[in-house]
Structure 1
Amino acid sequence: MTIAHGKLSDPVVSRLVAAVNAHDKDAFLGLLTPDATMSDDGSDRDLQEWIDKEIFDSGGHMDVVSESDGGRSLLVNYRNDTWGEMRTAWRFTVDGDRISRFETGQA
C-alpha cells in the first residue's frame, strides 16, 4: 500500500514527489532554495550531479509507504534504472514554500 503524493501532509514535499514521478526536473528545481543541499547515506553530495544521476537520467520513481514529522519524513520504495527498487528514507527541511535540504538513504 502506498500513499498518493496528493495525500501527503506537507504540500511542498508532496509537490516534490509529484515532480520526481513526472520526471519534471524544472518543477523539482523550482521547489528547492537556491542554496539547497542534500545527502545520500550520510554523505553530502553535489545536488545537481546527484539528482541527474539518481533521479532524472535514470527514471527515478517514489512510491511513498509512510510519512511522519508532518509529512517531512518519508519511507519510500524508490526505484530507478540504475539500482532497481529499494526501501529508502527521505527527510526534508522545508523553508516556506521551498526545500532547503533533503537527506536520503537506505532504510
Structure 2
Amino acid sequence: MSIQVNRLADPTVRAFVSAVNSHDQAAFQAVLTPDATMSDDGSERNIAEWTDREIFSSNGHMDVENESDGGLVLIVSYRNDTWGEMRTKWRFTVDGGKVSRFETGQA
C-alpha cells in the first residue's frame, strides 16, 4: 500500500518525490541546496551524475510505502529502467525548506 505523494508529511520531501516522479529536473534542482550531498548504499556520490543515471535518464519512480521521523525517512518501492524494482530507504536532511542531503540504499 503506497502513500499518495500529496499526503507526505514533510513539504520539502513531498516536492522531492514529486519532482522525481514527474521527471522534472528543474523542480528537482530547485528543491536541493546548492551544496547538497548524497550517498547510495553508504558511498558518497556525485549528486548530478547519480540523479541523471539513476532517476532522469532511466525513468526513476518512487512509490512511498512508509514514512517516519516526521516524513524525513521513507521506505520506497523504487523502480527504474536499469535495475527494475527494489525496496529502498531514503533519509533526508532539510535545511530552510530545501534538501541539503539525502541518503538512499537497500531497505
Work out the CA distance in 1 between the residues paired with 2:96 and 2:9.
15
Work out the CA distance in 2 between the residues paired with 1:5 and 1:69.
16
Work out the CA distance in 2 between the residues paired with 1:29 and 1:4.
22
Unmatched 5+ stretches in structure 2: none
- Give the match for residue 56 of structure 2: 56
Unmatched 5+ stretches in structure 1: none
C-alpha deviation, 1:96, in angstroms: 1.2
Amino acid at match of 2:40: D
Instruction: Spell out, residue by residue over 1:8-45, the C-alpha distance to the aligned partner (whole angstroms, 9 max, x if none).
Output: 00000001100000000110010000000000000000
- Give the match for residue 27 of structure 2: 27
Work out the CA distance in 1 between the residues paired with 2:88 and 2:104.
7
Amino acid at match of 1:41: D
Instruction: Give the RMSD, CA atoms, in angstroms.
Output: 0.3
Work out the CA distance in 1 between the residues paired with 2:90 and 2:99.
12
**Match runs of 1:1-107 below 5 Å:** 1-107=1-107
Structure 1 residue ranges (4+ consecutive) displaced by more than 3 angstroms after TM superposition: none
How many residue pairs are counted as aligned between the two chains? 107
Quick one: percent identity of the two aligned structures?
A: 67
Instruction: Give the TM-score of the pair, scaled to structure 1.
Output: 0.99
Amino acid at match of 1:55: I
Work out the CA distance in 1 between the residues paired with 2:29 and 2:88.
21
